[in-house]
Structure 1
Amino acid sequence: DQFTEVFSQALMGAAKEEISFRQTALQGLLRLSTLRNFFQDNEIGLFVQYLDEILLKEEVVGSGALKKDAVSALAELSRYKSNIIMEITLPAFMATLPDQDDGTDLKYITTLDTLAQISGQRNIFETLVRRLLNKLDLLLQGDSSHPRYVRIILLTIIHAMEKKRDDAQNFSLDSYYDRIVVGLSRRAALASTKDSSRILRDVSVLDTLGRLCTLIVRNISRENEDQVAQNIYTLFTAETDAFQPVPFSQTSNQNKKRTMILSTHLLAGLPKDTTNLPYSTTDPDDT
């Protein structure tokens, strides 16, 4: 198609400084891509690859307007052709995320922000969150990366969930309750007892994890809410674990006291009519 060839050449063949010219070409290809049955999937896929290249390989020119348009285009295309975004964009962007970070290279921030913006559709959202949680597990196991990297991954999950909540009528996060609220809260509690667990003892990481837990707790079943209430201070640890809940411990060091950040966020997520909160360790039957 002549239009396709002209727009493609203008978008990818024009000088990088020709921002307005390239923006016009981008919008032209976007309009053609969203017309019913005008492009085949492989043609839309080629356009998506152009957008990925602009975002991942090109330097910012001027105010970055072209990159902003590229993100908006991917977000719009995800509504019509989420399978193409899943097959092309998601793997390309995830592949650029480092397995560890020493705090000197912050390029991943823009990448993660873009991923959050294009994750509105259910299949993209679920795949993105699953892959980010897998990345998070690797970072926590290694415990050698800068805490900022973990914090920004958690923020990306928060933004993706908030975007999904805004777009969905029946919104539930019960499927993330066990892995995030239970699993990560318990890991943070146990990390407070070990000098080797650096990332989950960082205040900014604990606060961001707490925000994520608040969001999830506000969108789970009543049964799970009750379980959260019972574990506000224990943070889902077992009696055999080394962690002693802060309110009931006579000797809590600074690291253990920081776990109250999570307890506060969990409490904030519960409904006001929650009654079975553990205000003390006393058995109600003994009073």
Structure 2
Amino acid sequence: MKRAPNRGRASTIVGIVLLAVMLFPVYWMVNASLQPAGNTLQGGWFPFHPDFSGYVTALRDQGRNLVTSLIVALGSVVLSLGLAAPAAHALAHLPIRGTNFVLFGVLVTQMVPGIVVANALYSAYNDLGLLNSYLGLILADSTAGVPFAIIILRSFMRGIPREIIEAARVDGAGRLRIFRSVVLPVSANALITAALFTFLFTWSDFLFALTLTTTETVRPITLGIYEYIGVHTNHWNAIMATAVVASAPAAVLLVVAQRYVAAGATSGAMK
């Protein structure tokens, strides 16, 4: 009993050290973005005289790519939830044969390497005229969002008490009304969780962006940063500023939706 406080302090110190090691690249990215143009190795450990010219350059050169990523990410969220929510409800509550087989197929899709999907989509997109289009990227990124959302939503929806659904049926509600007015509101945390992870999948996608876009008309921010490095090797402040701006939406969403994510990810298992 006397050693418990010492062990607790030691664990806290180890945790702080590990956290500092993991967050140091983030700190250095922000620090480098506030340094004058030039080699980042010549910059100080703290920007006592911050220079925001890198952010001006980043927003000027990468603003369109940020908007593209935002459009594609939001489109993937809408499409993924629009397909996954009814599918998860059907797998959780409707008497459908072969449910386990369907779930196994959903899991298998998560195991397919992305490069295989990207190569297959490139040939199909070339024939359908979907290369270099918002719709093409939304459909491609949804191939990762839909299976994940189905797994999360079904796990949560299975925990919804049957009495709630039966009470709605007694009141005369049909299956569509039950799904819209009962299941979806109760599953708000799971929906937010699925939407957040789908957004993050899409926002950080590089493979589909590299494979399915060949012009500057539709170019997500991940591909923009990749090509930006080759052009501005002597302007690391602009490169790091672009990385900071690209990381901001994901970081803000994670902070805002943290409690919903925790509830949505664990409620299905706890119930």
TM-score normalized with structure 2 length: 0.28
Q: Which structure features the higher share of helix residues?
A: 2
Higher relative contact order (CA 8 A, sep 6+): 2
